[in-house]
Chains A and B, each alone.
Chain A
Amino acid sequence: MALLRGEGLTKKYGAVTALSDVTVEIQQGDIVVVLGPSGSGKTTLLNLLAILDRPSSGRVFLNGQEITHLPDPEAARLRNRNFGFVFQFFHLLPELTVRENVFLPLWIKERQASGLNGYRRQAEELLARFDLLGKKNAYPAQLSGGEMQRVAICRSLICQPQVVFADEPTGSIDRQAAASLLDLIGRLNQQQTATFVIATHNEIFLQIATKVVYLKDGRIERTEKTKIT
C-alpha cells in the first residue's frame, strides 16, 4: 500500500486548469522529484497532496485512508503530525527566533505549554545536528539563505513527519548551499527513511531521486523510477 496517493487530481482556477487528472504514488522512504518548468503545476500538486488545497476533482489517500475533504481542524492536525514543509523562500516566522521556529510545530502538536522545556530541548538537538545550535537565539533575518533553509528543514522534521514536502528548496540559495542541501536530504532519507516529495526545476535532485514525475501543462508527461530505488 502506498504511503501517499493522489488519484486523478485536477485543479481548476476558473477557466484555467492548473492540474489535470494527475495520479501519483509515494512509497515509504521515497524521494519523489516532481520536475517541470514554471507553471507546469508542480506547486499545485504539492499543495493538493499536502491537503493545503482541495482538488476540483480527484482524491488523496494517506496510508490508504482518504484525506481529501477532511474538515479544517482535522486537516490541520493531520498536516501537523504527518507532513513537513520546506518552501522556496524558507517561510520562517520573522518574529520568532530560530529555536522558536523549529519547535513551533511540536508545540502545536502537543498543545501544552508545560512541555516548553522539552520542545526547546528537542529543537536544540535537531539544530545541533544541522550545525545551527549557535544560532538558536538569532532571528531569521540574521541568517544566510543556506542557514534559513536548514532551519526550515529542522522545522519540517521536528514532529517526525511521514512525508516532507519541499517546494523549490534550492530556489533562493546559491549552488554551494544547494549542493549541501541535496546531500542533507539524501542522508536524511538513508538514515531515517524520511520520505520527500520535492517540486523543482533543478535537475540536481535527480541524483538522489527514487522516482521522478515529469509535469508539463498540468499533466504528467512521464514517470520514471531511478536506479537508486
Chain B
Amino acid sequence: MFSLIFFLSQKFAGRGAKENFLWFLSLFSVAGIALGVTTLMLVLGVMNGFSNELKKKIVGANPTIYIEGRPLLHDYRQMMKQVSPLAGVQGIAPFLSSQVIYRSSHYLLGGILKGVDPLAEPKVTNLAEFFRKGGLDCLHQGLVLGSELARELEVDVGDQVTVIGGLLARQQTFKVTGIIECGVYSYDVSVGLTALTNVQQLFGLGDVVHGLGIRSDNIYASEALAEKISRLLKDRYPVTTWIQKNKILFAALALEKKAMAIILVLIILVASFNIVSTLMITVFRKTREIGILRAVGLSAGDIGKIFFCQGLLLGVEGLLAGLLLGGLLSYLLRRYQFIRLPEFVYNLSRLPIEIAWKDVGFISLAVLVIVSLASFYPARRAARLNPVEALKYE
C-alpha cells in the first residue's frame, strides 16, 4: 500500500505531469529545509571544532589527572611507583606550582611558576611541542616563559627575569632560556617553567612536590582512572581530572551549543511553514482529484496518508539535500581551510569544523518531527473533504 501512497504523493507534488506551479512550490519548500539543515550542520560543526580544539590544547598543556598534596607530597616517589603500573596510565610527572611575581627591567607581572621534571614532563604534557625558542634542556639552565608573558614583560631569550614568591617573598633572578606557546591564552600569559629542583631551591623546599600529573590513555576515561587512583591511595589525597578543572568552561560551551541548536532549529521550523502552505495549496488544487480517488476506492485515511507522505517526502528531500550540502561545505572547510581567523583572538588561525554523527542524528530527528507536525494539519484537511463536494469542485 505504501508504494501506491508514495506514487500518488509524487504525482501530486507536480512531478509526473508538468505542473510547474506545484513543482516550484515543492522546490522552494525543499530548499528552505535544506538551507536550515545546512546552517544547523555547519554551526554545530564549528562549535564542535572549537570545543575539540580547545580540549586538545588544554589536554596538551596539562596532565589529564592530578594528585594534589596538602599542600605538599613528601612520599611522591613511592606514589609514582604505585600509580605508574596502573592500566590506563601513560605517564606520571611531579610538579611544583606557585603564584609568583615576575619582574623584568621594565615591568612587574603576576603569574604562575611551575617546576617540572624535564625528563618526565613530556610523558604527561605536549610541552616539547610548545617550544618556540629553546627546548626541554633549557629548563635546567633557567626560565622558560609563556609567549604572551614574555611579550608583556618585554623580554626574550637571554634576558634576566626575577621571580618573587613564597610566604617569605624569596626572590631569584633567572636567565630566560626559552619561550613556549601552547595556544591557550590564559596559559601563555601566566606560566613560567623551570626545572623542579630550581623551584625547590627557590622556596627552600626539600625533595617535595605539590602534586603529580598523570596522562591517561583515553582522556575521556580520566574520571574512572582518577577514581581507581584515589582508591589505590586510600583517599589520602585529592585526585582531580582535567574535566573537573575545566568544568565551567566546557559547561558554558555545551550550553552555548544547545542554545545555538535551539535557535537554528527555528530556521527549520520557519522553513516547515513553506511545507504547510505547499500542502494546503496542493490540497486546494487537488480537491477534485481527491474526490475521484475517494470514488475509486481510497479511504479518507488513505487520502490523509498521501498528503502526509508528500510533506514527509519534501522534508526528507530537504534534509538529504541539506546534509549533503552541509557535508560538502564542511569537507571543503576542513580540506582547504579558506576561512581565516585572527589568531590572537581565537588562538586558532583557521575555522575548525568537526561534524558529529550525534548532531546529524539530532538534526535528522528534528527535521522529521517538525515536518511530520507541519504535514499533519493539511493531511487531515484533505482526509476530511467530502467526496461528493470534492467531485463537484471546479
Contacts and interface: CB of A to CB of B under 8 A. Distances in A.
Interface of A: 47, 50, 52-53, 72-73, 75-77, 79-81, 85, 87, 91-96, 104-105, 107-109, 111, 113, 139, 141, 155, 159
A76 B388 CA distance: 13
Contacts of B1: 111
Given A47-B388, A87-B391, A93 B289 contact: yes
Interface string B348-392: 000000000000000000000000000000000000001110010
Contact of B4 (A81, A87, A92, A113): A113
A76 B4 contact: no
Given A73-B301, A111-B4, A95 B296 contact: no
Interface string B296-307: 111111100000
B12 A95 contact: yes
Interface in B23-78: none
B296 A104 contact: yes
A95 B298 contact: no
A109 B302 CA distance: 13
Contacts of B300: 72, 76
A73 B289 contact: no
A58 B258 CA distance: 62
B4 A105 contact: no
Interface string B279-305: 000000000110111111111111000
Interface of B: 1, 3-4, 11-12, 14, 16-17, 19, 288-289, 291-302, 386-388, 391
Nearest to B17: A95
A77 B294 CA distance: 10
Contacts of A155: 296
B299 A94 contact: no
A200 to B, nearest CB: 17
Given A76-B302, A91-B288, A93-B292, A139 B17 contact: yes
A85 B296 contact: yes
A76 B17 contact: no
Given A91-B288, A96-B11, A111-B4, A73 B294 contact: no
Given A95-B11, A113-B3, A79 B388 contact: no
Contacts of A104: 296
Contacts of A107: 4
Given A96-B11, A96-B16, A139-B17, A76 B292 contact: no
A139 B11 CA distance: 13
B299 A95 contact: no
B102 to A, nearest CB: 78
25 contacts: A47-B388, A50-B295, A52-B388, A53-B387, A75-B299, A76-B294, A76-B297, A76-B298, A76-B299, A76-B300, A76-B302, A80-B296, A80-B297, A87-B391, A91-B292, A91-B391, A92-B292, A95-B11, A95-B19, A96-B11, A105-B297, A108-B4, A109-B297, A111-B4, A141-B17
Given A95-B12, A113-B4, A53 B388 contact: yes
A72 B301 contact: yes
Contact of B295 (A72, A85, A111): A85
A137 B19 CA distance: 17
A73 B3 CA distance: 18
Given A87-B391, A95-B12, A81 B297 contact: yes
Contacts of A95: 11-12, 14, 16-17, 19, 289
Nearest to B19: A95
Nearest to A91: B292
Contact of B296 (A72, A105, A111, A113): A105
B384 to A, nearest CB: 11
A87 B291 CA distance: 12
The 3 closest A-B pairs by CB, nearest first: A80-B297, A113-B3, A76-B299
Given A91-B391, A95-B11, A96-B11, A72 B292 contact: no
A94 B388 contact: no
Nearest to B303: A76
A104 B4 CA distance: 9
Contacts of A73: 299, 301
A109 B291 CA distance: 17
A79 B296 contact: yes
B296 A52 contact: no
Contacts of A52: 294-295, 387-388, 391
Nearest to B296: A105
Contacts of A85: 295-296
